[in-house]
């Protein structure tokens, strides 16, 4: 499902004494998270906050409007921040993991429903999609172009052509 506001990461601590925050981005790179100038403190986008960010190793150091002391910054520890999807410029056909989770997975050739995409694991070579069927069984599917035929997040539908042996009834 296409979501208007997506979790971007979590405030994990403070940096210095002037209210700067250490932010753990849940993205492919800290640079992606650091490019946003406005973030949101709730999933509905009702509470926006202006930020200035910079990459620092594998985290983002962030200065947030209205937070100018270490005490104020410390009070935000563990807070999740959200981004507005339309603020992210993604290539066509690219989706956020949060949007993929919950999509129904079907066979591209015979429309058999295999289950719901329940998780995504990142590996060195390619992502692995976790498909959970109606009985709670989990199957691991390589997210490669030979297997993933079509992804339609707006319709909550993914079409696949599974490799032999992934599902019990595979040929």
What's the pLDDT tens digit per position in 17-60?
Answer: 999 999 999 988 999 999 999 999 999 999 999 999 999 999 99
Per-residue buried b or exposed e for 8-38, using 16+ beta carbons within 10 Å of the residue's own CB: bbbbeebbeeebbbbbbbbbeebebbbebee
Phi, psi of 14 (to 5 degrees): -110, 165
Can you tell me the distance from the alpha carbon of 143 to that of 130, in angstroms, rounded to the nearest whole number?
10
Every domain range in the chain assigned CATH 2.40.30.60:
5-86
Q: Which CATH class is domain 99-160?
A: mainly beta
**Taking the C-alpha atoms of 53, 80, 156 and 136 in order, what is their torsion angle to the nearest 10 degrees?**
140
Return the CATH fold of 5-86.
Elongation Factor Tu (Ef-tu); domain 3 (2.40.30)
**d(Cα 14, Cα 70) in Å, to the nearest integer?**
7
The whole-number pLDDT of residue 169 equals 56
Q: Name residues of the chain where pLDDT drops below 70.
A: 168-171
């Amino acid at each position: 499902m296409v979501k208007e506001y997506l979790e971007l990461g979590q405030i994990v601590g403070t940096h210095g004494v002037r209210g700067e925050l250490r932010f753990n981005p849940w993205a492919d790179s800290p640079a992606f998270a650091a490019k946003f100038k406005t973030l949101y403190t709730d999933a509905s986008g009702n509470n926006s906050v202006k930020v200035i960010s910079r990459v620092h190793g594998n985290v983002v150091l962030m200065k947030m409007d209205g937070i100018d002391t270490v005490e104020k910054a410390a009070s935000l520890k563990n807070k999740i921040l959200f981004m507005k999807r339309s603020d992210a410029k993604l290539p066509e056909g690219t989706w956020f993991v949060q949007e993929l989770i919950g999509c129904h997975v079907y066979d591209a050739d015979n429309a058999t429903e295999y289950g719901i995409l329940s998780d995504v694991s990142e590996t060195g070579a390619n992502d692995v999609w976790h498909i959970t069927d109606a009985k709670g069984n989990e199957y691991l599917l390589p997210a490669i172009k030979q297997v993933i035929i079509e992804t339609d997040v707006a319709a909550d539908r993914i079409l696949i052509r599974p490799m032999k042996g992934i599902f019990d009834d595979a040929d």
